[in-house]
Amino acid sequence: MALAPTSAQAADEQPTIRELLDKCDNGTDLCVFHPSGPPEESMGEAHQVGDSAFNCTADLQRSTVGWSDTTGESNSVGVSLSAEVGFAEVFKVSIETNYSHTWESSHTESEQTNVDVRPGEVGWVTRAAQMQRVSGQYELHFEDKFYGHYYWYVPFDATGPLPDAPSTKTQHTRPMTDQERSEHCG
């Protein structure tokens, strides 16, 4: 049997956000996510997808770059909304109820993109996915006190790919460096 902490110790001890959210629908009478406003849409960071295409010839070359890229979600707690059951399901249902659209934890896009590469240059493709960010708080009610309280309010925000939204793909070229020329045009 564990000893109860003194009142000074109890005041210092607080559950982590993760501990609280793990109790969502797993020890709570109520667990509700309250968004603080509509989702904010933005473009994610552009990054290279597929391999680079090196043109070692004296002629313009059209290269087809095949790629597949998955955009995932992130949140203020650092857990996967696709893997967690309790609070993740509450979050997804709340987004669907409040905004009439779904929350995706990940989205994969695959494509073949043509890049025209001039002699002595390297070409590549970048992709930026459309994202949505939701902020708010979880309201948790406990039948028995949890860390000295019946009610807890937990701030939470998450960013994920916008469902069914096209991403931005861009083709790039630049002159090869001397090192690239020696490695690829040997």
Cα separations in angstroms, 70 against 42, 81, 126, 129: 17, 15, 13, 9
Residue type, 122: V
Tokens in use for 123? 């070409």
pLDDT band at 6 (very low <50, low <70, confident <90, very high): very low
The closest of 145, 167, 178, 154 to 49, measured between CA atoms, is 167
Average pLDDT over residues 59-86: 84
Lowest mean pLDDT among 8-17, 50-59, 60-69, 126-135: 8-17
Task: Flag whether pLDDT at 11 surpasses 80.
Answer: no
Between CA 182 and CA 66 the distance in angstroms is 24
pTM: 0.75
pLDDT band at 1 (very low <50, low <70, confident <90, very high): very low
Cα separations in angstroms, 176 against 62, 114, 182: 16, 19, 10
